[in-house]
Structure 1
Amino acid sequence: MELWIPITIAAAFCQNLRSALQKHLKGQLGTTGATFVRFGYGVPFAFLYAAVLHLVFGYALPEPNVRMVAAGAVGGLMQILGTFLLIHLFSFRNFAVGTAYSKTEPIQAALFGFVVLGEQITLAAGLFILIGITGVVVISLARVPLSASAIRSSLMGRPALIGLASAAAFGASAVAYRTATLSLEGTGVPMQAAYALVYATLFQTIVMSGWMAAREPDQLRASLRAWRAAIWVGAAGVAGSIGWFTAMTLQNVAYVRALAQIELVFTFLASWLVFKEVIVRSEIFGCVLIVTAVIGVILLS
């Protein structure tokens, strides 16, 4: 098994944990505050990870360059937007289905990867990605009466559009981060990922702190007061990001994000076990399609 596969699965688990913690915090902080804690409280953990790689494992620090700085900034901004939209989406649907709307990301990441990096995927891999997307659509329609008007409303309603926008932002962010990590030379893959992660997380924290201080100071103060819970969001978020940055340094973004759909399995477990939400048969069928797609991508990679 190639190294990027277990790394991606671990990252998906950490991301699901972080999303669950953020959903809990959203009730206390609001959308902006819950978005901020992912980055603001993640900075110390990102620095700690890079320091351990350098001081303990001997990885050299790479030289920053314009490409890394620009791509990391674009990735950071797109990730902030995607996170904000995803958290806002929790207001419309339950935890599992709300997250599912953002799972159209792999096909959008494939398009961004082709345009920006010239990366291509095989026909078979594209088919499995579409199977995964079909699973997402099935889940999104699971609680909707099967009439033409109801289906149209679900596919084109505000929650669906927010989910698609969130997926596009995350897809663009993933490609930008891969561009940033690949631009770094003179060190190993773990440090390439860690260095870009530190820069992106610090950049995001500065941007959001400035925005909140000027526009939503109450949210910033509330985020600081909630540090006991928020620090776990930061830790889980950075753990997931370490996995994403490392996997996307090793492999095509489209494959990584397609495999990352396994997060939805973790989401269903969280919905059932933590949030006590009822899961219907159609959602289970959609989850089966996604697992099928994930297995296909693994076998073809």
Structure 2
Amino acid sequence: MSAWVLLAIFAAAFQTLRFVLQKHLSMGALSVGGATFARFAYSMPFVLVMAAVYLGWMGAALPRLGPLFWVYALTGGLAQILATWCMVALFAARNFAVGITFKKTETVQTALIGFVLLGDRVSPWGMGAILIGLVGVVVLSGGAGTDRWRIFNRAAALGLVAGALFAVSAVGYRGATLEVGSSDALTRALVTLAAVTTSQALAMALWLRWREAGEIGRVIAARRTAVWIGLAGLGGSLCWFTAFTLQNAAYVFAVGQVEVIFSLIAARVFFGERITRREGVGVALVTASVLAVGFFR
């Protein structure tokens, strides 16, 4: 089994754990912004230490980082902040497993964004898989209000926007890792992750200081749980970033769809949630779609 496949599976597991913890904190302890900030603030110290230790162990200096690296890295970092914010807000609108499935439209959207920005082409079979995913999203988006089959609702919008933003971040991160002046995949991943996470933590701290006075203090007070969000986020990001150095982001996300299965287990174990039969059909269609995108690449 290819290394990038294993990395994508581990990344999905770490990411599911992070979303479980973020949902827990967003259900009273922290605001949406606070739960989002916790993910970056508690990752930053660990990733900076890891990057420094690894470079020291390799006997290597900090690789060259050109202007294009910062364009890719900062664009991807901003997109991830907004996507994470959307996800935390989505958890309050729909149950955990369905929220994750909305977010997993990122694989289909990554394929489309990759075509627009990088010229990656989708085969006719891949386009068929995309259409299956769109049907699944339509099925999932019903039932948020009195009209059970109303397509345009807050949950659908948050999920689809989160997926698009995660897709942009993935393409940006892959571009950034390829701009790092090193032939070592882990060096490229760690340096990119350190730069991105630091910029994200600083940006979120400034935002909360401006818009949500006192929320940073609540994030610090919630550190016993929030630190695990940071560690889970670090584990997931490191696996994603390393995989991005080895393979096209759309393919990496296609394998990462095992997160849907992990989220169903988490929803049952941690939140006692059940999904309806119709939502189960939607989950199955979206899952089949994103897996087919990877299979028919």
**TM-score exceeds 0.5:** yes
Structure 2: runs of 5 or more not aligned? none
Distance 1:33 1:10, change over 3 A: same
- Give the AA of the match of 1:45: F
Distance 1:225 1:267, change over 3 A: same
Correspondence list, 1:25-104, <5 A: 25-26=25-26, 27-57=28-58, 61-104=62-105
Contact 1:102 1:164 in 2 (8 A): yes
1:163-192 deviation digits (Å, cap 9, x = unpaired): 111111111111111111111123311111
- Give, in angstroms, the shift of residue 124 of structure 1: 2.9
Contact 2:77 2:169 in 1 (8 A): yes
Is it true that 1:241 corresponds to 2:242 in the alignment?
A: no
Q: Distance in 1 between the 2:287 and 2:162 partners?
A: 22
Aligned to 2:263: 267
Aligned identity (percent) is 41
Among residues 196, 208, 225, which one is paired with 1:229 in the alignment?
Answer: 225
Distance 1:291 1:165, change over 3 A: closer
- Give the AA of the match of 2:75: V
Q: Distance in 2 between the 1:130 and 1:4 partners?
A: 26
- Give the AA of the match of 1:19: F
Aligned to 1:15: 15
Aligned-pair RMSD on alpha carbons?
2.3
Contact 1:103 1:136 in 2 (8 A): no
- Give, in angstroms, the shift of residue 118 of structure 1: 1.9
Please, which moves more after superposition, 230-239 or 97-106? Answer: 97-106
Is it true that 1:167 corresponds to 2:163 in the alignment?
A: yes
Q: Distance in 1 between the 2:251 and 2:182 partners?
A: 26
Aligned to 1:179: 175
- Give, in angstroms, the shift of residue 285 of structure 1: 3.9
Structure 1: runs of 5 or more not aligned? none
Distance 1:22 1:188, change over 3 A: same
Contact 2:250 2:294 in 1 (8 A): no
Contact 1:132 1:261 in 2 (8 A): no
- Give the AA of the match of 1:164: L
Counterpart of 2:148 in 1: which secondary structure? helix
Number of equivalenced pairs: 296
Counterpart of 1:156 in 2: which secondary structure? coil
Is it true that 1:4 corresponds to 2:4 in the alignment?
A: yes
Q: Distance in 2 between the 1:252 and 1:133 partners?
A: 22
- Give, in angstroms, the shift of residue 126 of structure 1: 3.9
Among residues 206, 218, 223, which one is paired with 1:210 in the alignment?
Answer: 206
Counterpart of 1:13 in 2: which secondary structure? helix
Distance 1:238 1:134, change over 3 A: farther
Q: Distance in 1 between the 2:182 and 2:67 partners?
A: 16
1:122-180 deviation digits (Å, cap 9, x = unpaired): 33344345445544544444x579x9x532x2x21122112111111111111111111
Contact 2:87 2:162 in 1 (8 A): yes
Please, which moves more after superposition, 62-71 or 194-203? Answer: 62-71
Distance 1:295 1:95, change over 3 A: closer
Q: Distance in 2 between the 1:256 and 1:187 partners?
A: 20
Contact 1:272 1:279 in 2 (8 A): no
Q: Distance in 1 between the 2:17 and 2:154 partners?
A: 26
- Give the AA of the match of 1:40: A
| TM-score for the superposition, normalised by structure 2 | 0.91
- Give the AA of the match of 2:266: A
Contact 1:119 1:252 in 2 (8 A): no
Distance 1:262 1:81, change over 3 A: same
Q: Distance in 1 between the 2:257 and 2:171 partners?
A: 17
1:173-214 deviation digits (Å, cap 9, x = unpaired): 111111111111233111111111100000001111111112
Is it true that 1:256 corresponds to 2:252 in the alignment?
A: yes
Please, which moves more after superposition, 129-138 or 44-53? Answer: 129-138
Q: Distance in 1 between the 2:86 and 2:294 partners?
A: 29
